Amino acid sequence: KNEVEQSPQNLTAQEGEFITINCSYSVGISALHWLQQHPGGGIVSLFMLSSGKKKHGRLIATINIQEKHSSLHITASHPRDSAVYICAVRSNTGNQFYFGTGTSLTVIP
Amino acid sequence: DAGVIQSPRHEVTEMGQEVTLRCKPISGHDYLFWYRQTMMRGLELLIYFNNNVPIDDSGMPEDRFSAKMPNASFSTLKIQPSEPRDSAVYFCASSRRGVFTGELFFGEGSRLTVL
């Protein structure tokens, strides 16, 4: 059983499209992270959320604590957004991090 | 700041050899994490330190793995003896304040291949 489920696993979009990646989790959390991993391996933290919504440029992350669900939105997608997006949560009852398996996004020019 | 620095970037070794991976966290960050990433299991937390003290090592797969943080600017992850199933990318990350409030900054990773 995975504590963190992401959907879709793979996503192909045309440049300019609005993109949504979803994350559901089954444990109580203190924070949720969205990470980005480009081909070549480097991982960048995009957002850390414990409630509400955050926005960085064309990226928006929302979280609904009651529904145990988060979404990552990309507006006006661009080929450079092509990467794997990983959802991660930290349990509030222990010291464990749980990671989703990632969503592989390809944006076609 | 140079970010989280890991070495080596790539390591190829033979089964049974000792492997040491190194990490320099961002200055001022008081949390340091070691992760392992494989195709099969994705990203897994191995161990993390707070103020150089190991807090949770429940993710360390077995006694062949050990990690140390002798000071605030350096940590090592050691595998002895190494096995082919240890082949993975090992990431180090650091954070300020703590896991409840601090954003994670990752190193570039160390790609380990055990033959």
Band (A32; pLDDT cuts 50, 70, 90):
very high
Please provide residue B35's backbone torsions phi and psi, each rounded to the nearest 5 degrees: -125, 155
Band (A90; pLDDT cuts 50, 70, 90):
confident
- The 8-class DSSP code of residue B9 comes to S
* B93 with A90: Cβ contact below 8 A: no
Note whether B54 contacts A: Cβ–Cβ < 8 A. no
Neighbours of A94 (CB within 10 A): 11
Q: Where are the beta strands (DSSP E) in chain B?
A: 5-7, 10-13, 19-24, 31-38, 42-50, 53-56, 65-71, 74-79, 88-95, 105-106, 110-114
Contacts of A101 in chain B (CB under 8 A): 42
**A72-89: per-residue pLDDT in tens?**
999 999 999 999 999 998
Per the CB < 8 A criterion, the answer to whether B95 and B26 are in contact is: no
Is residue A95's pLDDT more than 60?
Answer: no
Mean pLDDT of all residues in chain A?
Answer: 92
- Residue given tokens 């990646």 in the structure block: A21
Note whether B106 contacts A: Cβ–Cβ < 8 A. yes
Contacts of A54 in chain B (CB under 8 A): none
* A45 with B48: Cβ contact below 8 A: no
Is residue A96's pLDDT more than 60?
Answer: yes
Element (H, E) at A88: strand A83-91
Q: Where are the beta strands (DSSP E) in A26-76?
A: 29-37, 43-49, 52-56, 59-64, 69-74
Task: Calculate how close chain B gets to A77, using CA atoms only, in Å.
Answer: 24
Q: pLDDT truncated to tens, each residue of chain B (115 aa)?
A: 689 999 999 999 999 999 999 999 999 888 899 999 998 888 888 999 989 999 889 889 889 999 999 999 999 999 999 999 999 999 999 887 655 556 778 999 999 999 9
- The 8-class DSSP code of residue B60 comes to -
Q: What is the mean pLDDT of residues A90-99?
A: 75
Half-sphere CA count of A61, side-chain side, radius 13 A: 22
Q: Whole-angstrom Cα distance, residue B6 to residue B23? A: 4
pLDDT, position A41: 74
* A90 with B48: Cβ contact below 8 A: no
Is residue A22's pLDDT more than 90?
Answer: yes
pLDDT, position B111: 96
Alpha carbon dihedral B34, A86, B43, B90, in 10-degree steps, equals -50
What percent of chain A stands above pLDDT 70? 96
Q: What is the mean pLDDT of residues A13-41?
A: 93
Contacts of A97 in chain B (CB under 8 A): 33, 45, 99
pLDDT, position B1: 63
Q: Which of B58, B104, B111 sits opposite A33 (nearest CB)?
A: B104
* Omega of the bond leading into A8 within 30 degrees of 0 (cis): yes
* B45 with A97: Cβ contact below 8 A: yes
Task: Calculate how close chain B gets to A74, using CA atoms only, in Å.
Answer: 20
pLDDT, position B35: 93
